[in-house]
Structure 1
Amino acid sequence: MAEPVRAGLVRAGGGIVIGSDDTVIAVHRPRYDDWSLPKGKAIDDEPILACALREVAEETGVDAVPIAPVGVARYRLADGRIKVVTWFLMLAPAPCQLRPDGVEVDQVTWIPLADAPELLHYGGDVELLRALRAPSPGM
């Protein structure tokens, strides 16, 4: 018997954490054996920026500085709910030490923005980074 579709949205926040040398933080999640940008679900009525900052800190050990919201991704989960991830551009303080949480994330690394398409598993993550690197119209 098919599992019933659960109603509702799953709110999540994520961080595109930029280093001083044109790099971005990527996390490896052993549960999915994938590389992604740090993100996670909001707790109850948690403001979405607070969620993104908390998830980045939990998954990477970095207390990032938020710069600006950069996009929203929506996709359907296996149980039928829609996950809505609000992404924020963030700056990593220098110096900072990367520390995976050891539960959801087992590896954290800096990757050059140019190498992101080869490492990141999700096209949406890659598109976010490409949009950040694209020149603004009229520039």
Structure 2
Amino acid sequence: MTPGDGPVLAAGCVLWRVSPCGDGVEICLVHRPKYDDWSHPKGKLKRGEEFRAAALREVLEETGRDCALGPALPTVRYEVDGRPKEVRYWAARDTGGSFAPNSEVDRLVWLSPAAARGRLTQIRDRELVTAFLDTLNRTPERTPDPAPER
């Protein structure tokens, strides 16, 4: 890294919906064939783009889903190829759309929080599930109780 280089900036979401079965919530995960990993939808900011706008754009590009941003989740920091990366996350409720595989994301799944935690490749992404569930439990309006841990 040369002096003056800042971190790679990115944004993403823990995308969720009420389970169609009616038992709690489900979290959307994406599979990226380039890395053969499962993660939350996220991506780098474009020049001049705000974090919130980038989060919405990345969810739409990777999942085909529209969403409504909710509470901010913890910012995640790590290194990629020797360069610091900072990813800001939000809880985001799914508002509709349709997934189509693309060069970046070839699969999408909706899972219970416990199953999502088990499928996620990175520990840092698993910790976001816990943070997301904490925000659901603190939200004043009535949201469905998350599915019990199994």
Into which bin does the TM-score normalised by the smaller protein fall? Answer: 0.7 to 0.9
The CA RMSD measured in Å over matched residues stands at 1.5
Kept in 2, the 8 Å contact 1:11–1:83? The answer is: yes
Partner Cα separation in structure 1 for residue 100 and residue 120 of structure 2: 17
CA distance in 1, matches of 2:30, 2:98: 10
d(CA) in 1 for partners of 2:97 and 2:54?
A: 21
Alignment partner, residue 68 of structure 1: 71
* 1:93-116 Cα deviation digits (max 9, x unpaired): 1xx344145111001111111112
Work out whether residues 58 and 101 of structure 1, in 8 Å CA contact, stay in contact via their aligned partners in 2. no
Aligned structure 1 segments of 4 or more residues deviating by more than 4 angstroms: none
Q: Select which of 48, 61, 84 maps to 1:45.
A: 48
Kindly, what percent of the aligned residue pairs are identical?
A: 36
Q: Which residue of 1 aligns with 2:110?
A: 110
1:23-102 alignment runs, 5 A limit = 23-78=26-81, 80-93=82-95, 96-102=96-102
Whether the aligned pair in 2 keeps the contact of 1:61 and 1:101 (CA below 8 Å) is no
Q: How many residues align?
A: 129
User: What is the TM-score of this pair, normalised by structure 1?
Assistant: 0.86
CA deviations over 1:51-81 (Å, ceiling 9, x no partner): 0000000000001111121110000111x21
Could you tell me the TM-score, scaled by structure 2's length?
0.80
Structure 2 unaligned regions, length at least 5: 20-24, 139-150
